[in-house]
Amino acid sequence: MNGYGRAWLSVWRSVAVLGACLALFAYPFASTVALCCTGAAVGAVATYAAYPVAGTSSLTHGKLHRAAVNALSVGVALLAVAGLTVVLHAWLWLLVLLAAATSPWVINRLLQHATSRLPAVPPASETACLPDIPVEADVFVPTVRVLVEGDLCRAWRGSYQWLESTRSPALSAYIVALRQAYLDELDRRDPVGLHAWLDSCPRPRGGPEKYLHHGTDGHHLPA
């Protein structure tokens, strides 16, 4: 998680704790306990619904920890909503919208839409504008790093089609450097999955989707 994400969590956790404290003073103790337990149950159930398990052997420590954290978070969030309602009334929904609009997930999505999904590849008519020396893969790092894994894999497959269709050495060097940037980013995110895909002797037009976050045995690796 980047610095913005940590700052966002810190601010809104403080607001949630404040709201939960208000709820403890504003409502009977039994009601607050019931509300917190309801939220905790919803958080735990939602966690296991999002991460289904095939058997008891899949109940890893990581999933149990995530379920506990989510249960506590949802429980405190419900208390916070109840407590802040006493003070803010209908203005509470503006606070909720502000929290959602400034969340790292929304900001990242907006940045992805604002940024070109792929580095611009000049058309053949503009090939002469490209430098004679090969472009370094590091040039593409800022643009490639914002891509989610699905877009990254689609970009890898699309770049092969560009490479097949070009007849310009300069443009070929540009695309090869871009493909190297894709591989470097995949290796940074999931070296095990990337090497498992490369070891499978993939087709040139293929992509590594089914290997990402997977080992050679096909089991999902912990995040």
Contacts of 88 (CB under 8 A, 6+ apart): 95
pTM of the model: 0.43
Within this chain, do residues 90 and 137 fall inside the same structural domain, yes or no? Answer: no
**Last residue in a domain, options 68, 90, 112:** 112
Within this chain, do residues 24 and 40 fall inside the same structural domain, yes or no? Answer: yes
Within this chain, do residues 185 and 121 fall inside the same structural domain, yes or no? Answer: yes
**Last residue in a domain, options 81, 112, 143:** 112
The predicted pLDDT at position 184 comes to 92
Residue 193 to residue 198: CA distance in whole angstroms = 9
The predicted pLDDT at position 32 comes to 80
Within this chain, do residues 80 and 48 fall inside the same structural domain, yes or no? Answer: yes
Per-residue pLDDT band at 219 (split at 50, 70, 90)? very low
Residue 208 to residue 196: CA distance in whole angstroms = 9
Q: Is there a domain that residue 223 lies in?
A: no
Nearest to 48 by CA among 63, 60, 62: 63
The predicted pLDDT at position 46 comes to 74
Contacts of 15 (CB under 8 A, 6+ apart): 80, 84, 95, 99
The predicted pLDDT at position 14 comes to 86
Which residue range(s) make up the domain with 90?
Answer: 3-112
pLDDT digits over 188-200, tens only?
999 998 888 888 8
Q: What's the number of domains the chain is made of?
A: 2
Within this chain, do residues 82 and 133 fall inside the same structural domain, yes or no? Answer: no
Count CA within 13 A, CB hemisphere, residue 213. 7
